[in-house]
Copies of this chain bind each other. A is one copy, B any other.
Amino acid sequence: MTEHGPPPGAAAHDEGVRLRTAAVVGTGLIGTSVALALSARGVVTYLLDRDPATARTAASLGAGLAAFPPAPVDLAVLAMPPSKIAGALVEYQRAGLAEHFTDVGSVKVPAELAMRTADCDLSRYVGGHPMAGREQSGPLAADAGLFRGRPWVLTPSERTGGTVVELARQLIELCGACPVTMPAELHDRTVALTSHAPHLVSALIAGRLAQADDQQLRLAGRGLRDVTRIALGDPELWSDILRSNATAVLEVLREVADDLAVAVAALDWLGDLDPDLRRRGEEELRALLAAGVTGRGRLAERSPAQV
């Protein structure tokens, strides 16, 4: 950070705004990781959690001070399941925790709708979502480097003021992440496709293993481990996320269910006496597998080093 003033001609919202003090509400994995990154970069950071012991644990890791700030901080980061964010904004705007607010919730539209109903000051709030996480939860799993190089979505609305966006950008930069701005609706549809629906399907595959016997599990390889790893995520948090984004997740899941029905029919046809049906089964199956290679290839293209 520089101690100079803004260059002449800088946009109005840029003028003199510097993120010097922050609060993190909710010191789980993501909140504590944010706080660790901010504290490491010299931002005075206060830590709040509905469970004070959790905030003290985060403080003991060097994430900040487990206390309500003596004066409103520049920016508060609400780090809690999506369904809790609007209520927390109401509560902490009233309590004067911070001048400006953002959050790290995985779903944006329902929280913003609830905020509008609750008559929050939306000029001082911008929705955010860092695209990073781990299947572990809690402050002890936190990592100041969790967001490094990852996209961090901001979803400003027509009511969002310039100052809170600038502060949120500084937050993102201090965490080493890359800001991406998009409408809340597009964000929610996107994460339904890239995160929420895959999470649920991964959980369904993992659920099939609950009844398997040890001899069967002994044959499991890295493929199965990878497919099911995210299924270890906290069911409470994930049911909140899926609930909050139900409409968009449903859309993707219905498409997956349709494809699955095609796959089941195709496998069924393979055992049919009619050679035309057998051939059609083979073609359908190969087409589904080929679409998978194409889709996965698009991920690999975007970041070949991480295939």
Interface residues of A, Cβ cutoff 8 Å to B: 131-133, 150-151, 153, 180, 182, 186-187, 189-191, 193-195, 197-210, 212, 214-233, 235-236, 238-239, 242-243, 246-247, 249-250, 252-257, 259-261, 263-264, 267-268, 270-271, 282, 285-286, 288-300, 302, 306-307
Task: Judge whether A294 and B207 touch: CB under 8 Å.
Answer: yes
Q: List 9 A-B contacts (CB under 8 A).
A: A131-B219, A151-B218, A182-B215, A198-B228, A204-B259, A204-B288, A206-B299, A210-B298, A253-B260
Select which of B209, B228, B254, B295 is within 8 A of A228 by beta carbon.
B295
Select which of B243, B285, B291 is within 8 A of A285 by beta carbon.
B243
Task: Judge whether B261 and A257 touch: CB under 8 Å.
Answer: yes
Select which of B242, B282, B294 is within 8 A of A210 by beta carbon.
B294
Contacts beyond the supplied A223-B229, A233-B289: 8 A-B pairs with Cβ under 8 Å: A190-B219, A201-B205, A202-B223, A204-B263, A205-B292, A239-B286, A257-B257, A257-B264
Q: How far is the CA of A232 from the CA of B56 in the complex (A)?
A: 45
What residues of B have a CB within 8 angstroms of the CB of A296 in the complex?
206, 209, 228-229, 231-232
What secondary structure prevails in chain A residues at the interface with B?
helix
Task: Judge whether A195 and B224 touch: CB under 8 Å.
Answer: yes
Which among A222, A225, A231, A290 has the highest number of chain B CB atoms within 10 Å?
Answer: A231
Task: Judge whether B289 and A203 touch: CB under 8 Å.
Answer: yes
Task: Judge whether B221 and A292 touch: CB under 8 Å.
Answer: no
Which among A205, A209, A222, A250 has the highest number of chain B CB atoms within 10 Å?
Answer: A205
Task: Judge whether B204 and A223 touch: CB under 8 Å.
Answer: no
Task: Judge whether A291 and B207 touch: CB under 8 Å.
Answer: yes
Task: Judge whether A260 and B263 touch: CB under 8 Å.
Answer: no
Select which of B189, B200, B219, B223 is within 8 A of A198 by beta carbon.
B223
